[in-house]
Amino acid sequence: MALFGIGIIGCGAMGTALARGIAASGAISPADLWIYDLDKQKADAAAGEMGLQTAAGPEELFGQCRYIFVAVKPQDVAAAVDSWKDLYRPGVHLLISLAAGVTIKFYEERLPAGSKVIRLMPNTPCLIGEGAVAMSAGSAVSPEEAAAAGQLLSHLGLTVPVPESLMDAVTGLSGSGPAYVYLFVEALIDAGVTAGLNREIAAKLAVQTVLGAARMLQESGRHPAELRNEVTSPAGTTAAALAVLEKGSFRGDLIAAVMAATERAGELKRE
Ligand SMILES: NC(=O)c1ccc[n+]([C@@H]2O[C@H](COP(=O)([O-])OP(=O)(O)OC[C@H]3O[C@@H](n4cnc5c(N)ncnc54)[C@H](OP(=O)(O)O)[C@@H]3O)[C@@H](O)[C@H]2O)c1
């Protein structure tokens, strides 16, 4: 039987963001978007707000949906899979996991042979449709199926395919990345206050500067060094500031930070 529905297991921050993104895109009728949570009240609240369907249990979800998103915490994945592994049909369902550190093999070992599993590493800007999402597909997923899943995910932001072996690196860069940007903006605001601006104005200028610079990079497609050179005149103010950042190993610290997060992601997976 061909199923058309999209199901989301877990109605927390990510599950709700996903439901909101897909519902808002108009790519699917709300009647075909199903959500399920152990806490039915939570699912009902999210479904009511967006006009979606609430599944009474995994049976209904797997009976209605082809794409099944797993959006529960990593430590809850094993129990969740145990509760519906007998409902999974390799020829019917495609599982898409958002759980950090949980491998495709973890699912494949628990589900029937030939199971189709895609693993994602999203980040929090997915909550506003501006996420950076990396995606790896298991060996049973065809290129067409991976492309269709990528299309669905486009409602969360930018999606890029990566080999699963690089998921820890993705965690270090874009998964944890928003926190680096928040720290940068926080420091920029403090710097503005130190230089004499009031905090409210400094915050507005700092946020818009990061937003504007990111959009310049995105829209021009140019290398960051090129854009940086254009705002760095000889013996000017920007050159004076950049000299301080390079002396303080801004670039080296950022590389070391991403490497530390990447290594920590590997450790957490082993734990
Ligand atoms: N939030 C992020 O920024 C972020 C970023 C990257 C990746 N992720 C990944 O996204 C996943 C979800 O994260 P989250 O922050 O949205 O978690 P969350 O807010 O805790 O939401 C998970 C929801 O799933 C429910 N749940 C637990 N076990 C279930 C089961 N067997 N069946 C149905 N529902 C179940 C939980 O209920 P209870 O609360 O009652 O347990 C909770 O409502 C995680 O695996 C995480 O690694 C999140």
Q: Which domains does the chain have, with CATH numbers?
A: 5-163 (3.40.50.720), 175-270 (1.10.3730.10)
**Of the residues 38, 60, 167, which should be mutated to test ligand 1's pocket, given the most ligand atoms within 8 Å of the CB?**
38
pLDDT tens sequence across 121-165 = 999 898 888 999 999 999 999 999 999 999 888 888 999 999 999
In this model, does residue 16 exceed pLDDT 60?
yes
- Residue whose tokens read 């909101």: 20
In this model, does residue 2 exceed pLDDT 70?
no
268 lines ligand 1 (CB under 6 A): no
Q: How far is residue 248's CA from residue 231's CA, in Å, rounded to a whole number?
A: 20
Query: pTM score, two decimals?
Result: 0.88
45 lines ligand 1 (CB under 6 A): no
CB 24 within 8 A of CB 55: no
Q: 68: CA distance to ligand 1 center in Å? A: 14
Q: How far is residue 73's CA from residue 115's CA, in Å, rounded to a whole number?
A: 21
